[in-house]
Amino acid sequence: MNTANPYTLMFGKEPIQMISRVSESEDIYRNFLSEVSPQQVYMITGVRGSGKTVQMTEISKRIKEEENWIVLELNPVKDLLLDFAAKLYNEKKATDIIRDAKINLSFWGIGVEIAKSEKITDIEVALSRMLESLKKQNKRVLITIDEAVNSQTMREFASAFQIFIRQDLPLYLIMTGLYENIDALQNEQTLTFLHRAPKIFLKPLNIGSIVNQYKNTFHLDDENARKMAKLTRGYSFAFQVLGYFTFENNGDYKSIIDKYREYLDEYVYNKIWSELSEKEKRIMYAIASSKGGKIIDIRELLNLKPNEFSPYRERLIKRGLINGDERGIVKFTLPCFENYVLNNYLGDDYE
């Protein structure tokens, strides 16, 4: 194929071929743009490679097109409040407004010295005044933070954000993160507003949509398009990886399946596996070893009572690793992950 590959192997990069999650995106977009916004914070969570960053980027790019909106992406490893102030001041839609308000940010190395204007030495005060000046001009500010973690700088930022919201300032936030990181941040006692913030758990992509994408891109018949789509189980990164290698192989997906599985193992599953506790690994191995994923069989392998198994089941579901929609059964959500677990678990064998 002579044209550019429409799929990508890079995490977070918005690909040419993608499947949008229209419902969740529309909810955020509609709520933020309402005259009186019912929500000012959203958290997008899901397993690695589930499309968190891509969805956040898609929403932020759409909002950025609105005339009265300013969209800023903050780096979670920096001092978030200082990063926020610097980027807000340097945003072309905000610079003149902030200057005209004679807000002196030179103490922080931001902007220039303003004659007869006292330097502001508290970064929260500085941001509050900046946002107040933007509010008077009917501007709104959306902040996006990718892969948020429960760090000191993140807690400081969230505490300040909570104050800005109480001051009725036009500030909005979308954060992405792994379930365990978002959960840790939400459970901070001083950050009660985050605990009430809506969480969007990214579910698998619609298989029918994947079928249509592959069918049109590779000119497949219905049967082969379905077989190819089912190999992904709706996992967003797998959809990209399988599409990428198939494109590079002139549309022949069958001969690159081993390469596809090896790529998922090396670039996704190794990391996911390393982040599980030994008990969680043992439970995942029991699920992989069971016949049909029946919970009663899994508990028997583990020698666990229902109340002992349930917390692990719920946690693994929220982390996006297993699906518990079918009563009495759990299944792996990620393609070929059961094989990875069987091959990589180093504990006791159940058979």
On the question of pLDDT at 115 being above 60, the answer is no
Mean pLDDT of 178-192: 85
In whole angstroms, give the CA distance from residue 268 to residue 111: 42
pLDDT digits (tens, 9 = 90+) for 59-102: 999 999 999 999 999 999 999 999 999 999 999 999 999 888 88
At 252, is the secondary structure helix, strand, or coil?
Answer: coil
- At 128 the pLDDT is 95
The fold adopted by the segment(s) 22-94+124-201 is Rossmann fold (3.40.50)
- At 196 the pLDDT is 80
- Please state the pTM of the whole predicted model: 0.89
Structure tokens, 11:
């995490």
Nearest to 199 by CA among 163, 148, 273: 148
Q: How far is CA 262 from CA 168, 177, 242, 288, 337, in A?
A: 51, 25, 11, 18, 11
pLDDT digits (tens, 9 = 90+) for 130-157: 999 999 999 999 999 999 999 999 999 9
In whole angstroms, give the CA distance from residue 251 to residue 339: 26
On whether the CB atoms of residues 73 and 60 are closer than 8 A, the answer is yes
Q: Where are the domains of the chain?
A: 22-94+124-201, 214-272, 276-344
In whole angstroms, give the CA distance from residue 214 to residue 206: 13
CATH class given for the domain over 276-344: mainly alpha
On whether the CB atoms of residues 49 and 205 are closer than 8 A, the answer is no
Phi and psi angles of residue 152, each rounded to the nearest 5 degrees, phi first: -60, -45
Residue with tokens 């599980």: 276
On the question of pLDDT at 190 being above 70, the answer is yes
- Which one-letter amino acid corresponds to residue 109? G
Nearest to 158 by CA among 128, 198, 181, 192: 192
Neighbours of 199 (CB within 10 A): 17
- At 89 the pLDDT is 92
In whole angstroms, give the CA distance from residue 105 to residue 8: 41
- At 129 the pLDDT is 94
Residues with Cβ within 8 Å of 54's Cβ and at least 6 positions away in sequence, in order, are 12, 13, 14, 15, 18, 236
Nearest to 239 by CA among 270, 219, 268: 268
Q: Where are the alpha helices (DSSP H) in the chain?
A: 22-33, 52-64, 80-90, 95-100, 123-136, 152-166, 179-186, 192-196, 207-218, 222-230, 236-248, 257-264, 270-274, 278-289, 295-302, 306-318, 337-344
In whole angstroms, give the CA distance from residue 78 to residue 287: 40
Residue 156 exposure: Cα atoms within 13 Å on the Cβ side? 14
Residue with tokens 């690159």: 256
On the question of pLDDT at 116 being above 60, the answer is no
Neighbours of 306 (CB within 10 A): 10
Residues with Cβ within 8 Å of 78's Cβ and at least 6 positions away in sequence, in order, are 153
What is the rounded average pLDDT for all residues in the chain?
90
Residues with Cβ within 8 Å of 285's Cβ and at least 6 positions away in sequence, in order, are 341, 342, 345, 347, 350
In whole angstroms, give the CA distance from residue 22 to residue 211: 17
pLDDT digits (tens, 9 = 90+) for 281-315: 999 999 999 988 999 999 999 999 989 999 999 99
